Structure 1
Amino acid sequence: MSVAEARRIVLFRHAKADWPPVNDHERPLAERGRLDAAAAGRKLVDTGIPFDLALCSTATRTRETWKLAVHEFPHRPKTVYEERVYEASPGELIALLNETPDDARNVLLIGHNPGVHGLADILSGTVEGDAAERMTRRGFPAAAYAVLSFEGSWKSLEPGVGTLLDYWAPTD
């Protein structure tokens, strides 16, 4: 694959978590989160993006979100559970994405706020349609995702190089 081809990144926030008396990393999904994770999976399939790689935080709620979402996919992409996604800043997420092999064209990152929302904002140099307006209006609630594209190698991913193509969030 040529590094000049468009690449897509989907930034997917974990679904709604419960608050049992466990440490934050081990918080499971709430019942609503389980429903929203599956709905997000169906919407991700509707994008038609053939994901090559999924980078998922090791937190329980992100792993559960991914398990329920990917169940809706016709083909499961290679999945890497990456502890550096947990509590990562946008800059740390960019550094992680810079390590992605160039044979991966479309990457799904399942993570946490504020890092995921911040990364969507930082990467978006341009916007198609009303995606930015919808993302600004809704924020980045649990189970929301943003679809971005950029051209170049993963090593060239940096602030402002992306185009925000779409944004989706479950309804309240």
Structure 2
Amino acid sequence: MDSNRQVVVVRHAKAEAFAPNDVDRVLADSGRADARALGRWFREQGIDADAAYVSYAARTRETWALVAEAARWEVEPEIDGGLYGTDEDGVLELLRETDDSARTAVVVGHNPAIGLLAQLLDDGDGGAAGTDLAGFPTCTAAVFEVTCSWADVAPMCARLRAFHVARA
């Protein structure tokens, strides 16, 4: 994918239904397999990460670790407590703080914020025709091309280039 910048929006993989609290929920076995499959897909697509923002919840950190390993990403993620409970505007604010030297920023978080962020960013002219961004299942990634600086990232400023639901 050739563009100035890319935003990669990822919803965490399938988690176990129960834990002492929601933050401590880890991935289910199927979620682990799907996260590895998503990482392999990123590698096959030639998508690399220069910056990463990951919610502090156990399931998002585990999703990141498995995806990054399979994708062969070496970037150290910023584990962000704010991503756990924020909305799509909060994630957009976080993206605006990305250093301009980064070409690709990855966000791993939770619905509804992640799915709504994808809808917010989309300019409607993307190459993934027929993609329903309103449906954003676990272990899904949307890859957007952004031609502005990170500080100028705004609603409808990005073009959807790929949408992938990873299932092992």
> Structure 2 length normalisation: TM-score?
0.92
Report matched runs for 1:3-152 at 5 Å: 6-129=4-127, 131=128, 133-136=130-133, 139-152=135-148
Contact 2:34 2:167 in 1 (8 A): no
How far apart, in 1, do the equivalents of 2:83 and 2:129 lie? Answer: 23
- Counterpart CA distance in 2 for 1:146 and 1:85 is 17
> Gaps spanning 5+ residues in structure 1: where?
none
Identity of aligned residues (%): 36
TM-score normalised by length of structure 1: 0.90
Q: Is the 8 A contact 1:57 1:110 kept in 2?
A: yes
User: Is the Cα–Cα contact under 8 Å of residues 132 and 164 in structure 1 kept in the other structure?
Assistant: no
**RMSD (Å), alpha carbons:** 1.7
Gaps of at least 5 residues in structure 2 are: none
Give structure 1 regions of 4+ aligned residues with deviation exceeding 6 angstroms: none
After TM superposition, give the deviation of residue 155 of structure 1 in Å.
0.9
Tell me how far 1:127 sits from its aligned partner: 3.0
Letter in 2 for 1:149: E
| Count of residues in Structure 1 that have an aligned counterpart in Structure 2 | 166
Whole-Å separation in 1 of the counterparts to 2:107 and 2:19? 27
Counterparts of 2:17 and 2:42 in 1: how far apart (Å)?
A: 27
CA 85–167 in structure 1, closer or farther in 2 if over 3 Å, else same:
same
**Aligned equivalent of 2:153:** 157
Q: Structure 1's 136 and 75: CA in aligned 2 closer, same or farther, altered over 3 A?
A: closer
